[in-house]
Amino acid sequence: MSPSALEFAGVSKWYGQVAAITEVSLRIGPGVTGLVGQNGAGKSTLMKLACGLLRPSLGQVRVNGGSPDRVATRRQIGFCPDLDRFYERLSGRRFVTWMLRASGLGRSAAATRAGEVLERLGLADAMDRQIRGYSKGMRQRVKLALTLAHEPAVVLLDEPLTGLDPVARHEVGELVRGLGHGGAAVLVSSHVLHELQAFADLFVLMHQGRIVAEGALAELRAQLAERPRRLALRSDQPRRLARRLCELDQVSAVEIDARGVVIETTGGAQLSQRLTALGAESGLVRELLPLDDSLEAVFGYLVES
Amino acid sequence: MIGWLRNLLEIARQTLLLLAANRFVWVFGVAALVAAVALALVARQAAQRGAPGDEFFGVVLYLVGIQFALPVAVVYLGVVAIHGDLQDRTATYLFVRPLHRSAILLGKWLGVVAAGVGLGAVGVVVTYAALALPPIPWARGVTPPLAMAITFLQASTLAAVAYAAVAALLAAFFRRPLVAGAVFVVGWEAIGSMAPPQAGVRSLTVADPVRRWLASEIQATGPLREVLAMRLDRFVDPSELRDPLASLAWLAGVALLLALWIYTGREYDSRVRE
């Protein structure tokens, strides 16, 4: 197992009688880990526990072996909150510089670092304008700049793609991927699951304050082996194809749509071979597409189950 | 320790700059200038009715400045500086940085003290300029003395330190600290300062020790003497009362310690649940 930069050991967090997080044990190592869950699943609470903003009611949180309550430990953490408030009258550069200076950096070092990181995030032209005139995407980048300015070993990004346009999303995705490749442990939550899928290596799926699954996407899908898979078969003669498919034991449901046939099956490699053979033999199958290998589908199944 | 101190001073500097951009501060400045012009006109009439400059200057500064404007301004600014961040959650940015929360709170307190001292100085200087510089025919030819202005400057500094500490406590503890601040300034200060000294309640006010300190520093006469006189003094043996500076230090110290205890220990998370 890779060394864990961030570790939750039996962590629970209650607000009065409401449990936000229940007995979460989790180890996050270098690379990008996606945190997936619906609203209220406990994603933000988990991140706030990791950066010391909240304290666990039970259990322990460790960042590189230290408690996030300690100032020395927080030097290793960069947290980008799901928050759209700033000191609005400051410029982006000044805001980041102030925060860096507040945490001990000298005046010129802070200003230089702030300029570098804002430029890296594409705010070179806007960094000296007041934040209150920034677009949502620019504001998000200021937060990211602040998060990354001190080059933390553990990066916590709470919904970093919110409000970004597609180009900016792609850029932020690349940035996050780069951080992971650079050796940082990056925990990133997002509702945009298909984009999370594009840059995260591992996933943690949360539901109602608990972790329901964790691992690479393929591993998560494998946990659902007994569950029927949905496959789309593109065909010019869907009715004929459907008739042939109904004869197969491993096909439990067949549905005809405009572009072909959608089946539900519990069959694995053997069925794939038969479908490939069917396509070659009769020319009925033009294309075979798995419909539920995406993160959304896996997450949906896990939550249902 | 040096790092902690540096963080504290940086937070104080930032707080002061943020407060300097606050609309209230500019309203206060404009109001002070308008009041100065009005004061100069009123002073001329008072002088014609036989008021000496030192008494008029002292009464105006004490009743308007020390008892009303300064507490309102400092408590308001303290609440804005400390609770404003918590309310709009921008404090999150500071809380997750590698600096101790005690440095954040004390830095903000220091910034508020600096702002309060600045506003107090503006108030004293403007009042002095309005009453001492124009040729006003004061009774017995007594113009407002510079020494008295300096004493009031010192009093406003002492008051700013203590009021800022009280504001820090209110901002750290209450969900609606402005309401609590208004109750403190308008209600508690008045009631506490009037209470029999034996009750010990006066130690929980800023107004009473500041008034006692001013009374000990200024050789007041006439209406100023009455204003600075201890209420219910027939019940009081002055030796039973704590030294005014010690009272202020005690109040400010306890308020700051309590504020620190709350601020460093509490989880400020406006979104209790996602």
CA distance A77 to A272: 46
A220: pLDDT strictly greater than 80 = no
Q: How confident is the model at residue B224, as a pLDDT?
A: 81
Pairwise CB contact (< 8 Å): A99 & B93? yes
pTM of the model: 0.84
Q: Which amino acid is at B10?
A: E
| Chain A residues touching chain B at CB-CB below 8 Å | 15, 18, 20, 39-45, 48, 51-55, 71-72, 74-75, 77, 79, 81, 83, 85-87, 89, 98-99, 101-104, 146, 150
Contact assignment for A20 to B3 by CB distance below 8 Å:
no
Would you call B97 and A98 a contact, using CB atoms and an 8 Å cutoff? no
Q: For residue B236, what pLDDT is reported?
A: 65
Please state, for a pLDDT cut of 70, what percent of chain A lies above it: 93
Q: Do B96 and A75 touch (CB under 8 A)?
A: no
pLDDT tens for each residue of A284-305: 787 777 777 666 677 777 666 6
What does the alpha-carbon distance between residue A12 and residue A20 come to, in Å, rounded to a whole number? Answer: 8
Residue spans of alpha helices (H) in chain B: 2-20, 23-48, 53-60, 70-87, 91-95, 101-132, 146-173, 177-182, 189-194, 207-217, 222-228, 244-265
Q: Is the pLDDT of residue B273 over 50?
A: no
Distance from CA of B196 to the nearest CA of A (A): 43
A15 CB neighbours in chain B (<8 A) are: 272-273
Distance from CA of B167 to the nearest CA of A (A): 21
* pLDDT of B232 higher than 80: no
Tokens of A92: 């982006």
Q: Which residues of A touch B92 (CB under 8 A)?
A: 53, 81, 83
Q: At A178, which amino acid appears? A: G
A189 or B140: which leads in pLDDT: A189
More confident residue, B41 or B257: B257
Are the beta carbons of A272 and A286 closer than 8 angstroms?
Answer: no
Nearest CB partner across the interface for B88, out of A71, A85, A103: A85
Helix or strand or coil: residue B139? helix
Segment A28-77, tens digit of pLDDT: 989 999 998 888 888 889 999 999 899 999 999 999 888 998 988 998 99
Residue A2 has pLDDT above 70, yes or no: no
Q: Which helix (H) or strand (E) holds A167?
A: helix A166-181
B11 touches chain A (CB under 8 A): yes
Mean pLDDT for chain B overall: 87
Confidence of residue B270 (pLDDT cuts 50, 70, 90): very low
When pLDDT is averaged across residues A115-139 and rounded to a whole number, the result is 88
Q: Which amino acid does the sequence have at A2? A: S
The 8-class DSSP code of residue A70 comes to S
pLDDT, greater one: B175 or B238: B175
Check residue B272 and give its pLDDT: 40
Between B14, B96, B271, which is nearest A51 by CB? B96
pLDDT bracket for residue B80 (50, 70, 90): very high
CB neighbour class for B50 (10 Å; exposed up to 12, middle 13-18, buried from 19): exposed
Contact B7/A104, CB-based, under 8 Å? yes
Which residues of B are less than 8 Å from A102 in CB distance?
A: 7, 10-11, 14, 94, 97, 99
Which among A15, A75, A146 has CB closest to B98? A75
Question: From the list A79, A83, A87, which residue is nearest B89 (CB)?
Answer: A83
Q: Do A44 and B6 touch (CB under 8 A)?
A: no
Q: Is B6 near chain A, with CB under 8 Å?
A: yes
Query: B22-35: per-residue pLDDT in tens?
Result: 888 888 888 888 88
State the pairing for strand pair A251-257/A287-290: unpaired
- Answer yes or no: are the C-beta atoms of A255 and A263 closer than 8 Å: yes
ipTM for the predicted complex comes to: 0.82
Lowest mean pLDDT among A272-281, B90-99, B217-226: A272-281
Q: In terms of CA atoms, which chain A residue is nearest residue B22? A: A89
Closest CB from A51, A85, A102 relative to B90 = A85
pLDDT in tens, B164-178: 999 999 999 998 999
Query: Which positions in chain B touch A86 (Cβ < 8 Å)?
Result: 90
- Cα gap A58→A90, rounded to integer Å: 39
Query: For the ranges A85-94, A213-222, B109-118, which has the lowest average pLDDT?
Result: A213-222
Which of the two residues, B151 and A191, has the higher pLDDT score? B151
In this complex, do B273 and A40 lie within 8 Å of one another by their Cβ atoms? yes
Nearest to B177 by CA among B192, B191, B187, B166: B166
Q: Which residues of B208-235 are buried (b: 16+ CB within 10 A; e: fewer)?
A: bbbbbbbbebbebeeebeebbebeeeee
Q: Once rounded to an integer, what is the mean pLDDT over residues A209-231? A: 77
Find the residue in A nearest to B10 (Cα). A102
Residue % of chain B over a pLDDT of 70: 93
| B238 confidence band (pLDDT: 50, 70, 90) | low
How far does the CA of residue B121 sit from the closest CA of chain A (Å)? 27
Cβ–Cβ of A74/B97 closer than 8 Å?
Answer: yes
Element (H, E) at A219: helix A217-222
What pLDDT, on a 0 to 100 scale, did the predictor assign at position A138? 86
pLDDT in the model for residue B274: 35
pLDDT of residue A294: 66
What is the band of A150 on the pLDDT scale with cuts at 50, 70, 90?
Answer: confident
- Whole-angstrom distance, CA of residue B159 vs CA of residue A262: 78
Flag whether pLDDT at A113 surpasses 50.
Answer: yes
Least Cα distance to A93 among A119, A68, A67, A69 occurs for A119
Average pLDDT, chain A: 84
Question: Could you tell me if B94 lies within 8 Å of chain A, comparing CB atoms?
Answer: yes
Residue A3, pLDDT > 70, answer: no
Residue type (1 letter), B171: A
- Pairwise pLDDT comparison (B76 vs A223), residue with the higher score: B76
The chain A residue lying nearest B100, using CA atoms, is A71
From A93-97, A119-123, A292-296, the region with the lowest mean pLDDT: A292-296
CB pairs under 8 A between A and B: 74
Lowest mean pLDDT among A135-139, A288-292, B94-98: A288-292
